[in-house]
Amino acid sequence: MTTQLGGNAPKGRGAVSICGSAAGRDQPRRRSTRTTAYAPFVTRRLLLGGAQTVGVVLLVFALTEALPGDAAVALAGDQPDPARIAAIREAMDLDRPAYERLADWATGLLHGDFGTSLASGRPVTQYITDAFGPTLLLATLTLALLVPLGFGLGVLAARHEGRLVDRLVSSVTLAVYAVPEFALGVLLVTVLALKLAWLPPTAVGYGTDLLGHPAALVLPVLVLLSRPVCSLSRLVRAGMIDALASPYAAHARRYGVPGARVRYAHALPNALAPAAQQLARTVDWLLCGVIVVEALFVIPGLGTVLLNAVAERDVPVVQGLAVVFGVLTVLLNLGADLVAHRLTPRAGVAA
Protein backbone atom coordinates (compact mmCIF):
# COMPACT_ATOMS: atom_id res chain seq x y z
CA MET A 1 0.00 0.00 0.00
CA THR A 2 2.76 2.32 0.86
CA THR A 3 4.62 1.49 -2.32
CA GLN A 4 1.62 2.36 -4.48
CA LEU A 5 1.12 5.76 -2.88
CA GLY A 6 4.63 6.94 -2.39
CA GLY A 7 6.63 4.85 -4.83
CA ASN A 8 10.33 4.91 -3.94
CA ALA A 9 9.93 8.27 -2.25
CA PRO A 10 10.08 8.50 1.53
CA LYS A 11 6.78 8.18 3.30
CA GLY A 12 6.74 11.66 4.79
CA ARG A 13 7.69 13.37 1.54
CA GLY A 14 5.01 11.50 -0.35
CA ALA A 15 2.37 12.54 2.17
CA VAL A 16 3.40 16.18 1.91
CA SER A 17 3.26 15.98 -1.85
CA ILE A 18 -0.23 14.50 -1.80
CA CYS A 19 -1.52 17.10 0.65
CA GLY A 20 0.10 19.92 -1.32
CA SER A 21 -1.49 18.64 -4.51
CA ALA A 22 -4.91 18.50 -2.88
CA ALA A 23 -4.49 22.00 -1.47
CA GLY A 24 -3.47 23.23 -4.88
CA ARG A 25 -6.56 21.69 -6.43
CA ASP A 26 -8.84 23.15 -3.72
CA GLN A 27 -7.44 26.71 -3.92
CA PRO A 28 -9.17 27.71 -7.20
CA ARG A 29 -12.33 26.08 -5.89
CA ARG A 30 -12.27 28.21 -2.73
CA ARG A 31 -11.59 31.33 -4.79
CA SER A 32 -14.50 30.50 -7.09
CA THR A 33 -16.78 29.86 -4.10
CA ARG A 34 -15.91 33.27 -2.60
CA THR A 35 -16.65 35.00 -5.93
CA THR A 36 -19.92 33.11 -6.27
CA ALA A 37 -20.95 34.11 -2.73
CA TYR A 38 -20.04 37.75 -3.43
CA ALA A 39 -22.34 38.05 -6.47
CA PRO A 40 -25.66 37.64 -4.59
CA PHE A 41 -24.53 40.19 -2.00
CA VAL A 42 -23.76 42.72 -4.75
CA THR A 43 -27.13 42.03 -6.40
CA ARG A 44 -29.02 42.53 -3.15
CA ARG A 45 -27.19 45.75 -2.39
CA LEU A 46 -27.79 47.12 -5.91
CA LEU A 47 -31.51 46.34 -5.68
CA LEU A 48 -31.63 47.93 -2.23
CA GLY A 49 -29.79 51.01 -3.55
CA GLY A 50 -32.29 51.35 -6.40
CA ALA A 51 -35.22 51.09 -4.00
CA GLN A 52 -33.63 53.68 -1.70
CA THR A 53 -33.13 56.06 -4.62
CA VAL A 54 -36.82 55.78 -5.56
CA GLY A 55 -37.69 56.36 -1.92
CA VAL A 56 -35.51 59.48 -1.84
CA VAL A 57 -37.31 60.95 -4.87
CA LEU A 58 -40.75 60.26 -3.39
CA LEU A 59 -39.75 61.59 0.05
CA VAL A 60 -38.28 64.81 -1.36
CA PHE A 61 -41.42 65.53 -3.38
CA ALA A 62 -43.69 64.75 -0.43
CA LEU A 63 -41.73 66.97 1.96
CA THR A 64 -41.66 69.93 -0.42
CA GLU A 65 -45.40 69.50 -0.96
CA ALA A 66 -45.95 69.55 2.80
CA LEU A 67 -44.13 72.86 3.29
CA PRO A 68 -46.41 75.39 5.03
CA GLY A 69 -47.73 78.38 3.12
CA ASP A 70 -48.20 79.02 -0.58
CA ALA A 71 -45.07 79.27 -2.70
CA ALA A 72 -46.86 81.42 -5.27
CA VAL A 73 -47.88 83.96 -2.62
CA ALA A 74 -44.35 83.99 -1.18
CA LEU A 75 -42.83 84.63 -4.60
CA ALA A 76 -45.34 87.32 -5.47
CA GLY A 77 -43.89 89.78 -2.96
CA ASP A 78 -45.17 91.83 -0.03
CA GLN A 79 -48.25 93.11 -1.92
CA PRO A 80 -49.27 90.17 -4.06
CA ASP A 81 -51.47 90.84 -7.06
CA PRO A 82 -54.07 88.08 -7.69
CA ALA A 83 -53.18 88.03 -11.38
CA ARG A 84 -49.49 87.65 -10.58
CA ILE A 85 -50.24 84.89 -8.07
CA ALA A 86 -52.30 83.06 -10.67
CA ALA A 87 -49.49 83.40 -13.24
CA ILE A 88 -46.94 82.05 -10.76
CA ARG A 89 -49.18 79.14 -9.86
CA GLU A 90 -49.58 78.32 -13.53
CA ALA A 91 -45.82 78.57 -14.13
CA MET A 92 -45.17 76.26 -11.17
CA ASP A 93 -47.95 73.89 -12.26
CA LEU A 94 -49.50 74.23 -8.83
CA ASP A 95 -52.96 74.13 -10.42
CA ARG A 96 -52.32 70.53 -11.52
CA PRO A 97 -52.79 67.45 -9.32
CA ALA A 98 -49.78 66.40 -7.27
CA TYR A 99 -49.44 62.98 -8.91
CA GLU A 100 -49.17 64.59 -12.37
CA ARG A 101 -46.45 66.97 -11.19
CA LEU A 102 -44.62 64.08 -9.53
CA ALA A 103 -44.73 62.05 -12.76
CA ASP A 104 -43.42 64.98 -14.84
CA TRP A 105 -40.69 65.77 -12.30
CA ALA A 106 -39.54 62.15 -12.03
CA THR A 107 -39.47 61.84 -15.82
CA GLY A 108 -37.32 64.97 -16.03
CA LEU A 109 -34.94 63.57 -13.41
CA LEU A 110 -34.42 60.46 -15.52
CA HIS A 111 -33.29 62.73 -18.39
CA GLY A 112 -31.09 64.93 -16.15
CA ASP A 113 -33.62 67.79 -16.05
CA PHE A 114 -34.02 69.09 -12.50
CA GLY A 115 -36.32 71.91 -13.49
CA THR A 116 -35.93 75.70 -13.56
CA SER A 117 -35.33 78.10 -10.71
CA LEU A 118 -38.34 80.21 -9.82
CA ALA A 119 -36.19 83.07 -8.53
CA SER A 120 -33.81 83.51 -11.46
CA GLY A 121 -35.16 81.38 -14.31
CA ARG A 122 -31.84 79.48 -14.58
CA PRO A 123 -31.80 75.68 -14.85
CA VAL A 124 -31.36 73.94 -11.53
CA THR A 125 -28.61 71.83 -13.14
CA GLN A 126 -26.57 75.00 -13.64
CA TYR A 127 -26.89 75.85 -9.95
CA ILE A 128 -25.66 72.38 -9.02
CA THR A 129 -22.73 72.32 -11.45
CA ASP A 130 -21.57 75.82 -10.47
CA ALA A 131 -21.69 75.10 -6.74
CA PHE A 132 -20.39 71.54 -6.89
CA GLY A 133 -16.84 72.69 -7.69
CA PRO A 134 -16.11 74.53 -4.40
CA THR A 135 -17.78 71.80 -2.34
CA LEU A 136 -15.84 69.07 -4.14
CA LEU A 137 -12.59 70.99 -3.68
CA LEU A 138 -13.13 71.26 0.09
CA ALA A 139 -14.07 67.60 0.30
CA THR A 140 -11.03 66.48 -1.72
CA LEU A 141 -8.55 68.50 0.34
CA THR A 142 -10.11 67.35 3.61
CA LEU A 143 -10.10 63.70 2.54
CA ALA A 144 -6.51 63.90 1.30
CA LEU A 145 -5.43 65.01 4.78
CA LEU A 146 -7.89 62.84 6.67
CA VAL A 147 -6.70 59.43 5.45
CA PRO A 148 -3.01 59.72 6.42
CA LEU A 149 -3.71 61.63 9.64
CA GLY A 150 -6.54 59.36 10.80
CA PHE A 151 -4.75 56.12 10.06
CA GLY A 152 -1.42 57.44 11.32
CA LEU A 153 -2.78 58.58 14.67
CA GLY A 154 -4.78 55.38 15.07
CA VAL A 155 -1.79 53.15 14.36
CA LEU A 156 0.43 55.25 16.63
CA ALA A 157 -2.01 55.01 19.52
CA ALA A 158 -2.54 51.27 19.03
CA ARG A 159 1.20 50.63 18.87
CA HIS A 160 1.69 52.37 22.24
CA GLU A 161 -1.49 51.11 23.89
CA GLY A 162 -1.83 52.19 27.50
CA ARG A 163 1.28 54.36 27.41
CA LEU A 164 1.76 58.13 27.31
CA VAL A 165 1.44 58.47 23.53
CA ASP A 166 -1.82 56.51 23.50
CA ARG A 167 -3.30 58.56 26.36
CA LEU A 168 -2.22 61.81 24.73
CA VAL A 169 -3.68 60.95 21.31
CA SER A 170 -6.92 59.67 22.86
CA SER A 171 -7.34 62.72 25.09
CA VAL A 172 -6.66 65.26 22.34
CA THR A 173 -8.93 63.57 19.81
CA LEU A 174 -11.74 63.28 22.35
CA ALA A 175 -11.40 66.94 23.33
CA VAL A 176 -11.36 68.17 19.73
CA TYR A 177 -14.31 65.96 18.80
CA ALA A 178 -16.36 67.49 21.61
CA VAL A 179 -16.06 71.00 20.14
CA PRO A 180 -18.89 71.87 17.69
CA GLU A 181 -17.64 72.79 14.24
CA PHE A 182 -19.31 76.22 14.34
CA ALA A 183 -17.62 77.09 17.66
CA LEU A 184 -14.27 75.83 16.37
CA GLY A 185 -14.66 77.87 13.19
CA VAL A 186 -15.43 81.05 15.12
CA LEU A 187 -12.45 80.42 17.41
CA LEU A 188 -10.05 79.89 14.49
CA VAL A 189 -11.33 82.98 12.68
CA THR A 190 -10.97 85.09 15.82
CA VAL A 191 -7.42 83.95 16.58
CA LEU A 192 -5.80 83.25 13.19
CA ALA A 193 -7.67 85.74 11.03
CA LEU A 194 -8.70 88.68 13.19
CA LYS A 195 -6.08 88.70 15.96
CA LEU A 196 -2.97 87.46 14.13
CA ALA A 197 -4.09 88.34 10.57
CA TRP A 198 -2.39 85.25 9.16
CA LEU A 199 -5.31 84.06 7.04
CA PRO A 200 -8.40 85.61 5.41
CA PRO A 201 -11.50 85.18 7.59
CA THR A 202 -13.84 84.32 4.70
CA ALA A 203 -13.80 83.59 0.97
CA VAL A 204 -15.66 86.79 0.07
CA GLY A 205 -14.37 88.24 -3.19
CA TYR A 206 -12.78 85.03 -4.45
CA GLY A 207 -15.87 83.59 -6.13
CA THR A 208 -15.56 79.97 -7.22
CA ASP A 209 -11.82 80.29 -7.97
CA LEU A 210 -10.81 79.05 -4.54
CA LEU A 211 -7.92 76.99 -5.83
CA GLY A 212 -6.23 80.20 -6.95
CA HIS A 213 -6.46 81.52 -3.37
CA PRO A 214 -5.27 78.65 -1.17
CA ALA A 215 -5.08 80.82 1.95
CA ALA A 216 -8.88 81.07 1.93
CA LEU A 217 -9.11 77.27 2.13
CA VAL A 218 -6.97 76.75 5.22
CA LEU A 219 -9.53 77.59 7.89
CA PRO A 220 -12.48 75.75 6.29
CA VAL A 221 -10.37 72.62 5.76
CA LEU A 222 -9.14 72.73 9.38
CA VAL A 223 -12.71 72.92 10.66
CA LEU A 224 -13.89 70.15 8.33
CA LEU A 225 -10.93 67.97 9.28
CA SER A 226 -11.24 68.31 13.06
CA ARG A 227 -14.05 65.87 13.88
CA PRO A 228 -13.56 63.20 11.16
CA VAL A 229 -9.86 62.74 11.97
CA CYS A 230 -10.74 62.14 15.62
CA SER A 231 -13.41 59.55 14.90
CA LEU A 232 -11.33 57.76 12.25
CA SER A 233 -8.22 57.58 14.42
CA ARG A 234 -10.15 56.17 17.37
CA LEU A 235 -11.83 53.62 15.11
CA VAL A 236 -8.51 52.47 13.64
CA ARG A 237 -6.97 52.29 17.11
CA ALA A 238 -9.78 50.11 18.44
CA GLY A 239 -9.68 47.81 15.42
CA MET A 240 -5.92 47.33 15.59
CA ILE A 241 -5.93 46.70 19.35
CA ASP A 242 -8.60 44.02 18.93
CA ALA A 243 -6.67 42.43 16.08
CA LEU A 244 -3.36 42.48 17.95
CA ALA A 245 -5.01 40.75 20.91
CA SER A 246 -6.53 38.02 18.72
CA PRO A 247 -5.24 34.41 18.77
CA TYR A 248 -3.89 34.51 15.22
CA ALA A 249 -1.70 37.54 16.03
CA ALA A 250 -0.30 35.74 19.09
CA HIS A 251 0.24 32.62 16.97
CA ALA A 252 2.15 34.68 14.40
CA ARG A 253 4.41 36.11 17.12
CA ARG A 254 5.14 32.63 18.46
CA TYR A 255 6.32 31.62 15.01
CA GLY A 256 8.74 34.55 14.93
CA VAL A 257 6.85 36.86 12.56
CA PRO A 258 8.26 40.39 12.98
CA GLY A 259 6.15 42.81 14.96
CA ALA A 260 5.88 45.30 12.12
CA ARG A 261 4.49 42.61 9.83
CA VAL A 262 1.96 41.53 12.44
CA ARG A 263 0.80 45.13 12.87
CA TYR A 264 0.65 46.24 9.24
CA ALA A 265 0.04 43.01 7.33
CA HIS A 266 -2.37 41.32 9.75
CA ALA A 267 -3.81 43.77 12.28
CA LEU A 268 -4.25 46.88 10.11
CA PRO A 269 -6.33 45.16 7.38
CA ASN A 270 -8.85 44.16 10.05
CA ALA A 271 -9.45 47.84 10.77
CA LEU A 272 -10.00 48.69 7.10
CA ALA A 273 -13.60 47.44 6.84
CA PRO A 274 -15.09 49.72 9.56
CA ALA A 275 -12.74 52.49 8.46
CA ALA A 276 -14.08 52.25 4.88
CA GLN A 277 -17.63 52.68 6.13
CA GLN A 278 -16.56 55.61 8.30
CA LEU A 279 -14.83 57.23 5.32
CA ALA A 280 -17.98 56.80 3.23
CA ARG A 281 -20.03 58.58 5.89
CA THR A 282 -17.40 61.31 6.05
CA VAL A 283 -17.40 61.84 2.28
CA ASP A 284 -21.20 61.94 2.36
CA TRP A 285 -21.03 64.62 5.07
CA LEU A 286 -18.36 66.58 3.20
CA LEU A 287 -20.46 66.69 0.02
CA CYS A 288 -23.91 67.05 1.53
CA GLY A 289 -23.66 68.31 5.09
CA VAL A 290 -21.16 71.18 5.27
CA ILE A 291 -23.81 73.89 5.24
CA VAL A 292 -22.57 75.41 8.50
CA VAL A 293 -18.94 75.63 7.34
CA GLU A 294 -19.84 77.05 3.94
CA ALA A 295 -22.12 79.64 5.53
CA LEU A 296 -19.50 80.59 8.14
CA PHE A 297 -16.72 81.12 5.59
CA VAL A 298 -19.02 82.36 2.78
CA ILE A 299 -18.02 79.63 0.33
CA PRO A 300 -20.30 79.40 -2.75
CA GLY A 301 -20.87 75.66 -2.49
CA LEU A 302 -23.91 73.40 -2.47
CA GLY A 303 -24.74 74.25 1.14
CA THR A 304 -24.85 77.98 0.41
CA VAL A 305 -27.05 77.42 -2.64
CA LEU A 306 -29.43 75.34 -0.52
CA LEU A 307 -29.65 78.02 2.18
CA ASN A 308 -30.38 80.72 -0.41
CA ALA A 309 -33.00 78.55 -2.10
CA VAL A 310 -34.77 77.88 1.19
CA ALA A 311 -34.73 81.60 2.03
CA GLU A 312 -36.19 82.47 -1.39
CA ARG A 313 -38.60 79.49 -1.30
CA ASP A 314 -37.17 78.33 -4.60
CA VAL A 315 -38.79 74.88 -4.54
CA PRO A 316 -37.20 73.40 -7.72
CA VAL A 317 -33.68 74.22 -6.47
CA VAL A 318 -34.44 72.74 -3.04
CA GLN A 319 -35.87 69.61 -4.65
CA GLY A 320 -32.93 69.22 -7.02
CA LEU A 321 -30.32 69.60 -4.28
CA ALA A 322 -32.20 67.25 -1.95
CA VAL A 323 -32.28 64.57 -4.65
CA VAL A 324 -28.56 65.01 -5.36
CA PHE A 325 -27.75 64.75 -1.64
CA GLY A 326 -29.94 61.68 -1.22
CA VAL A 327 -28.55 59.85 -4.25
CA LEU A 328 -24.96 60.62 -3.18
CA THR A 329 -25.70 59.20 0.27
CA VAL A 330 -27.15 56.00 -1.22
CA LEU A 331 -24.24 55.52 -3.63
CA LEU A 332 -21.54 56.18 -1.03
CA ASN A 333 -23.06 53.82 1.52
CA LEU A 334 -23.54 51.20 -1.19
CA GLY A 335 -19.87 51.44 -2.14
CA ALA A 336 -18.83 51.27 1.52
CA ASP A 337 -20.91 48.13 2.06
CA LEU A 338 -19.36 46.43 -0.97
CA VAL A 339 -15.81 47.34 0.09
CA ALA A 340 -16.41 46.25 3.70
CA HIS A 341 -17.88 42.93 2.54
CA ARG A 342 -14.95 42.38 0.22
CA LEU A 343 -12.46 43.02 3.02
CA THR A 344 -14.35 40.85 5.53
CA PRO A 345 -16.42 38.29 3.59
CA ARG A 346 -17.81 36.83 6.83
CA ALA A 347 -19.88 40.02 7.16
CA GLY A 348 -22.01 38.66 4.34
CA VAL A 349 -23.53 36.11 6.72
CA ALA A 350 -25.21 38.91 8.63
CA ALA A 351 -26.13 40.68 5.41
Note whether 203 and 327 are same-domain residues.
Answer: yes
Whether 117 is covered by a domain: the verdict is no
Note whether 13 and 36 are same-domain residues.
Answer: yes
In this prediction, residue 79 carries a pLDDT of: 65
Whether 275 is covered by a domain: the verdict is yes
Note whether 23 and 143 are same-domain residues.
Answer: no
pLDDT along the chain (351 residues), means of 10: 43 41 47 60 82 87 76 69 76 77 86 83 89 89 92 89 90 90 90 89 77 86 92 88 78 77 75 78 82 87 87 84 87 80 54 40
Whether 83 is covered by a domain: the verdict is no
Domain containing residue 12: 2-40
In this prediction, residue 158 carries a pLDDT of: 87
Note whether 203 and 253 are same-domain residues.
Answer: yes
Note whether 221 and 331 are same-domain residues.
Answer: yes
Whether 74 is covered by a domain: the verdict is no
Note whether 137 and 15 are same-domain residues.
Answer: no
- Residue 69, burial from CB neighbour count under 10 angstroms (0-12, 13-18, 19+): exposed
Note whether 12 and 156 are same-domain residues.
Answer: no
In this prediction, residue 210 carries a pLDDT of: 79
Angle between helices 215-244 and 272-288 (to 10 degrees): 160
Q: Rounded distance, CA 160 to CA 135, Å? A: 37
Whether 111 is covered by a domain: the verdict is no
- Residue 111, burial from CB neighbour count under 10 angstroms (0-12, 13-18, 19+): exposed
Q: Rounded distance, CA 1 to CA 7, Å? A: 10
Q: Rounded distance, CA 137 to CA 223, Å? A: 14
Contact (Cβ atoms closer than 8 angstroms) between residue 189 and residue 198:
no
Note whether 280 and 231 are same-domain residues.
Answer: yes
Note whether 56 and 188 are same-domain residues.
Answer: yes
Q: Rounded distance, CA 51 to CA 198, Å? A: 49
Number of domains the chain is built from:
2
Residue-wise burial string across 143-161, b where 16 or more C-beta atoms lie within 10 A, e elsewhere? bebbeebbbebbbbbbbee
Contact (Cβ atoms closer than 8 angstroms) between residue 182 and residue 292:
yes
Contact (Cβ atoms closer than 8 angstroms) between residue 151 and residue 275:
yes
Note whether 242 and 279 are same-domain residues.
Answer: yes
Whether 103 is covered by a domain: the verdict is no
Q: Rounded distance, CA 280 to CA 331, Å? A: 9
Whether 143 is covered by a domain: the verdict is yes
Whether 80 is covered by a domain: the verdict is no
Q: Domain holding 153: CATH number?
A: 1.10.3720.10
Note whether 290 and 252 are same-domain residues.
Answer: yes
Cα first-last separation, the chain: 49
Note whether 133 and 189 are same-domain residues.
Answer: yes
